Amino acid sequence: MKFTELGLNESLLKAVKEQGYTEPTPIQAKAIPLVIEGKDVLAAAQTGTGKTAGFTLPLLERLSQTTPVMKKKQIRVLVLTPTRELAAQVAESIATYGKYMSYRSMVIFGGVGINPQFAALKKGVDIVIATPGRLLDIANQGGIDFSAVETLVLDEADRMLDMGFIHDIKKLMAMMPKNRQTLLFSATFSREIKTLASGLLKDPVLVEVARENSTAGKISQVVHLVDKSRKRELLSQLIKAGDWKQVLVFTRTKHGANKLTKQLEEIAGIKAAAIHGNKSQGARTKALADFKAGNVRVLVATDIAARGIDIDQLPHVVNFELPNVPEDYVHRIGRTGRAGMQGEAVSLVCVDEHELLRNIEKFTKSKIEKVDIEAFRPDPSIAAEPIQNGRGGGQKRGGGQRGGGNSRNKNNNSRNRNNKSKNTDNKADKTPIEKKKRPHNPHAEKIGSYLQAKLDNMDKKPNRRR
């Protein structure tokens, strides 16, 4: 299949060519002709599949086909996204592919002044990419007119529900014209998503490119079992031993993200930045830009802040803490291995998280390889403790972000357990990963390649620049 066979105009094809894309990805090949035809589409597509261009290209094509007379504050296309970052990325994609077309687009999200947004809408905009909360705010104040919306896109709909946007979405949907095209993209397909979709889409065509609830194909996944108190130390060593240049690390809480970032910088001397909901938009944009530019080696993120981050060829994702919800694991590791690149997802799992790991394996219908690292083998005398705030297996989605900081790191028990470890954080980095025989772990025999290669590499280059 070629891009030229999809029904896109010359301006769009030129812009696609400039991106160096030779072939449409499967989701693009399937979705683009359907969207151009005006069909409602329900797409089960993970990030990294090229889904953004899968809807932005045909939307631009459709826009070019008619020139309706627009009234003040009316818009033609609305794209709803869960996060500001994703909104900005969709806008970037529209700007990239639409560079040879004339239309006006804008992003609308909270955390920045509302007045310039009112003003821009008044001047006239064709495409709005927005997060639900701020958009509803503007709509309630009469700042936008949805009556001419031709196409509505809900991008990463599952995440919008996770983030508690359902009420805002319902209110916004009630303002949309009935006669419109609707596209809904979601990485996972829960019952809630199906219910939402059935209320919004008319005779939708289902487009699926990856098996439901599956993890992306080109991502190698590995688990290292390690005590909670030694995770930071292991992470530093993996980064240094593997000479990882760009790694996205997930923590469960904003507090945890800040703490880890500080430790990586101050103790391990690794340039790191945190990105989460408590950071200002400016700080988040800067952290992402520094990371993309290679000025920052580690970006520590919470699930919601990282949602939709698109970094070409991101090679490493680390789950410093496993997510409470298995779907989030799929989203997290989808940050690597994008658009056919090889990616590696490493999970550092402590005794408290075994249940979460089992849930993830059940959800993804796969066993994740456990690689034993002798120097970090967990202390068997440490007993599992429940993850605080009821965030164990059966917990509701989304709670980890909205409930304010998780006090887990502060609790006495975890402090006690941390004290059990002989290594303090400071000492830890100076302890090299030991390359010893691995006699008794059944996993160890079949592992070999992954870490061994890294260890060998480290041995060969003891003075590698940190």
Binding residues for ligand AMP, rule: CB under 6 A, are 21, 24-25, 28, 47-53, 310, 312, 338-339
Of residues 300, 285, 369, 364, the one with CA closest to residue 46: 364
CA distances from 295 to 235, 245, 273, 291, 367 (A): 19, 10, 10, 6, 35
Minimum Å distance from CB 189 to ligand AMP? 17
* Shortest separation between residue 239's beta carbon and ligand AMP, angstroms: 23
Q: How far is the CB of 439 from ligand AMP (least distance, A)?
A: 43
In this complex, which beta carbon is closest to ligand AMP, that of residue 151 or of residue 237? 151
Shortest Cβ distance from residue 279 to ligand AMP (Å)?
22
Smallest distance, Å, CB 29 to ligand AMP?
9
CB atoms within 10 A of CB 206: 12
Tokens at residue 312, please? 């070409």
Q: Which CB atom, from 317 or from 451, has the smaller least distance to ligand AMP?
A: 317
> CA-CA distance, 47 to 155, in Å (whole number)?
10
Residue 340 CB, shortest distance to ligand AMP, in Å, is 7
Report in angstroms how near the CB of residue 16 gets to ligand AMP at its nearest. Answer: 7
- Using CA atoms in the order 303, 308, 310, 314, what is the torsion angle rounded to 10 degrees? 30
Question: Minimum distance from CB of 311 to ligand AMP (Å)?
Answer: 8
CB nearer ligand AMP, residue 51 or residue 454: 51
User: Minimal distance in Å, beta carbon 68 to ligand AMP?
Assistant: 28
Cβ atoms of 305 and 275 within 8 Å: the answer is: yes
Length of the chain, in residues: 466
Q: Is 332 helix (H, G, I), strand (E, B) or coil?
A: helix
CA distance 373 to 438: 9
Tell me how far CA of residue 191 lies from CA of 198, 202, 362, in angstroms.
Answer: 11, 18, 18
Q: Are strands 181-186 and 41-44 parallel, antiparallel or unpaired?
A: parallel
For residue 461 the two structure tokens come to 């280059």
The answer to whether 43 touches 210, Cβ cutoff 8 Å, is no
Q: Considering the complex, what minimum distance in angstroms separates the CB of residue 435 from ligand AMP? A: 37
In the bound state with ligand AMP, the residue whose beta carbon lies nearer, of 224 and 331, is 331
> Of the two residues 335 and 408, which places its CB atom closer to ligand AMP in the complex?
335
Give the H/E segment covering residue 240.
helix 231-241
Nearer to ligand AMP, 49 or 215 (CB): 49
How far apart CA 281 and CA 279 sit, in angstroms, is 6
Residue nearer to ligand AMP on the CB measure, 50 or 98: 50
Which of 94, 152 has the CB closer to ligand AMP? 94
CB of 90 to ligand AMP, least distance (A): 9
Instruction: Compute the distance between CA of residue 43 and CA of residue 189 in angstroms, rounded to an integer.
Output: 10
DSSP codes joined into one string, 33-90: HHHHHT--EEEE--TTSSHHHHHHHHHHHHHHH------TTB-SEEEE-SSHHHHHHH
**Please, which residue, 86 or 375, has the CB nearer to ligand AMP?**
86
**Helix, strand, or coil (residue 347):** strand
CB nearer to ligand AMP: pick between 107 and 223: 107
Rounded to an integer, what distance in angstroms lies between the CA atom of residue 255 and that of residue 400? 11
51 or 231: CB nearest ligand AMP:
51
3-state SS, residue 220: strand
